[in-house]
């Protein structure tokens, strides 16, 4: 069964440092999502790509966060500089076009701790 891949699985960084997360969606899935989930809360959408284009980044803190999906396949989410409040689980998900366009499949996530 195809899966969404994410790396690293865990990351510890000091505040003010830069950190990057990588996601490889299920092959053929045109839509890719990045979420942030704080313990005890639901996932919060940070950015949504359709192929290589951003279709929603309204919740992305653009002063420190950036995301790209240059060839419309894998994607990178970057934080620079990291702040203590960025400690959370960062989840990537993908979905395909068509009638099942909104059924999302999640990767295992990257758990970020900022010290």
List residues binding other proteins (CB under 8 A): 33, 35, 40-45, 48, 50, 55-56, 58, 89, 91, 100, 102-109, 111
Report the nearest approach of other proteins to the CB of residue 103 (Å). Answer: 6
From the CB of 35, what's the least distance to other proteins, in Å? 8
> Which of residues 59 and 81 has its CB atom nearest to other proteins in the complex?
59
Tell me if 32 sits within 8 A of 71, measured CB to CB: no
Q: In which residue are the tokens 């758990």 written?
A: 111
């Amino acid at each position: 069964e195809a899966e969404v891949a994410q790396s690293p699985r865990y990351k510890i960084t000091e505040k003010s440092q830069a950190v990057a997360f990588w996601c490889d969606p299920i092959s053929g899935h045109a839509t890719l999502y990045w979420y942030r989930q704080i313990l005890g809360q639901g996932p919060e959408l940070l950015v949504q790509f359709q192929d290589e284009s951003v279709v929603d980044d309204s919740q992305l803190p653009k002063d420190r966060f950036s995301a790209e999906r240059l060839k419309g396949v894998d994607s990178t989410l970057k934080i620079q500089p990291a702040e203590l409040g960025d400690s959370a689980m960062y989840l990537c998900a993908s979905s395909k076009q068509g009638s099942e366009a909104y059924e999302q499949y999640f990767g295992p996530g990257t758990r970020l701790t900022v010290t």
